[in-house]
Amino acid sequence: MGLGQNSALRVEWIAAVSLAAGAAAVGYLAYKKCLSKDKCCKAMVNPHIQKDNPKVVHAFDMEDLGDKAVYCRCWRSKKFPLCDGAHTKHNEETGDNVGPLIIKRKEA
């Protein structure tokens, strides 16, 4: 094997390694973007309600509800925890299908 052949083989080897490294990098980035379930990459559901609390919890006595209560599940209501219809705009903007939680007293 001559010096010219050895040099050509080295160039081919460098090209192959460079191509493989580039493909691996693109594959890794695609995986991180599309398939990774990292907590840091998920969008928050609650954009602004009681952000100073570690957990938002509301409890109501059934007797206090009256005949019907409508609660927000999209976290965009200005009257949270009650629904003000903000999910309609949210659904139009995002393609989501979230709606309110409706609690009604059972008809006797």
Which alpha helices (DSSP H) does 35-75 contain, by range?
none
- Are 71 and 103 in contact by the 8 Å Cβ rule? The answer is yes
Catalytic-labelled residue, pool 42, 55, 68, 106: 55
Amino acid at the residue 26: V
Q: Measuring CA to CA, which residue among 46, 60, 56 is closest to residue 69?
A: 60
78 catalytic, yes or no? no
Q: In this structure, what token pair is assigned to residue 3?
A: 């010096």
Strand partners, 102: 70
Active-site residue list: 55
